[in-house]
Structure 1
Amino acid sequence: MSAAEVVKLLRERRVALEAGLSEAELRLAERRYGVRFAPDHRELLTLALPVGDGWYDWRARGGERVRKAIREPFEGVLFDVEKNDFWPASWGERPDSFAARSEVVKRQVATWPQLVPLYAHRYLPAAPFGPGAPVFSVHQTDVIVFGTNLLDYAAREFGTTRVLPEGDLDTSGLEPWSLLAFEGYVP
């Protein structure tokens, strides 16, 4: 998978692209938002910055939207704890108060690999996860693998027929996101 192939595919699909981020802009975005771009995400953003509906402006012209997207996986889990009875047995006894449940969720989700917004509610794992990371679609605890890697994701999201075989998927080290995606994290 190369980021150049992703950029080519995005251009073919008429996604608006700005000049890529410089190394200084990448470091600034990582500091500003408290994330670390994984290698594939970093490579894409150095070649081109996709812009427009659904994309995140890492140059900070829409900073609050980026911050909200970074918080969204945690807030989605908390929503499902409160509204949909999500409570994995591994978390112990479910506390009676919202405040106590919220603290448990905060502690638990803080141990999960961080997800970095890519497009709409699609996320890539943050560094130190290496190249070839899957792209997750995350809506509360409804998580699916939307691409086995960034190129496969772009092909699926933007409607081409090029899709990599499922055998190329490596989600090791991405639990519990991957467990939610494969319904192995049962409340």
Structure 2
Amino acid sequence: MFTEQINKSIECLRYNGYFITAGLTTQELNAAEECYNITFPADYKAFLSVGMPLYRHDFTDWRNLSAEYVEYIKFKMYDCTIDGVLYAVRKLDGWPESWGKRPDEMEGRLALARKKIKENPLFIPIKSNRYLSLSPAESGNPVYSIHEGDDVVCYGENLWDYFIKSNDADGDGDGYGHADAIYNLTTMLEPFPKYNTFVYHSINNFFYQNQRYYDECGNYLPGGEAVAQ
């Protein structure tokens, strides 16, 4: 499964100078999932089982389970991504059923939201400030650039889209070109959505599981997904 996408992604990463280490074993994958209390999406898990990219401190090293490194990655998972979700709780009345009864007071809601998100992260960092969403599906979830919690840009419709287009310096779609030459993909043509806040993802994908829709400014869209895109 995902063989063609994995091979293409690894090929373009190597072309752009990234070192690919040996793939993670089943035991290593399980250890990382247990350590961070996450479940890797099927596509990312398949990719990691074939090879894990490393480049300076950019890519997450899921083999490194030292206390200091784990604390750093958990900081990225939680502290660097939570602001947008708290905005949804505070301003847009968001509250997933899985969190149980919603406290009456806002401070109680925010405190419980922080606790739930810390227990079950919504995103995992895959490279620098690039995050793979853990929802809404088991695979095929988007990749976001998340800066200071609520400055968000979608960098790929899915993992493979991200690997290819984020390394495509000449813009021809083949994934070959120097990676450092392109970091801001907001100037590229669609299908990259130009989200500039956390609201669209945190509400549509997490709180309402694509049952209700809001635009990137938090405005309710009664027409549904077609209007939201």
The TM-score range, normalised by the shorter chain, is 0.7 to 0.9
Whichever residue aligns with residue 29 of structure 1, its letter is: A
Structure with larger RCO (C-alpha < 8 A, sep 6+): 1
Match of 2:145 among 114, 137, 140: 137
* CA offset digits 1:59-112 (Å, max 9, x no partner): 02532222212213554348x85xxxx9323259984xxx546415427857x9
Equivalent residue number for residue 183 of structure 2: none
Aligned CA distance change for structure 1 residues 59 and 144 (closer, same or farther; 3 Å)? same
Structure 2 Cα separation of the partners of residues 101 and 128 of structure 1: 23
Contact 2:146/2:152 (8 A) holds in 1? yes
- How many percent identity over aligned positions? 23
Aligned CA distance change for structure 1 residues 77 and 143 (closer, same or farther; 3 Å)? same
Structure 2 Cα separation of the partners of residues 181 and 8 of structure 1: 38
Structure 2 Cα separation of the partners of residues 154 and 31 of structure 1: 26
TM-score, normalised to structure 2, is: 0.61
Equivalent residue number for residue 47 of structure 1: 50
Structure 2 Cα separation of the partners of residues 59 and 118 of structure 1: 13
Whichever residue aligns with residue 141 of structure 1, its letter is: D
Equivalent residue number for residue 177 of structure 2: none
Match of 1:13 among 9, 13, 16: 16
Contact 1:142/1:181 (8 A) holds in 2? no
TM-score, normalised to structure 1, is: 0.72
Count of residue pairs the alignment pairs up: 176
Contact 1:57/1:66 (8 A) holds in 2? no
Q: Shift of residue 157 of structure 1? A: 2.4
Match of 1:118 among 101, 111, 126: 126
Q: Mind listing any 5+ residue stretches in structure 2 that lack a counterpart?
A: 96-103, 175-188, 193-200, 220-229
Note if 1:29 corresponds to 2:32: yes
Pairing of 1:77-156 with structure 2 (within 5 A):
77=84, 87-91=90-94, 95=106, 100=108, 102-103=110-111, 105-106=113-114, 114-126=122-134, 129-139=137-147, 140-156=149-165
Structure 2 Cα separation of the partners of residues 180 and 70 of structure 1: 25
Q: Which has the larger radius of gyration?
A: 2
Structure 1 Cα separation of the partners of residues 139 and 45 of structure 2: 10
Equivalent residue number for residue 76 of structure 2: 69
Q: Shift of residue 150 of structure 1? A: 1.4
Note if 1:56 corresponds to 2:57: no
Q: Shift of residue 165 of structure 1? A: 5.9
Q: CA RMSD in A?
A: 3.9
Structure 1 Cα separation of the partners of residues 45 and 76 of structure 2: 18
Whichever residue aligns with residue 60 of structure 2, its letter is: Y
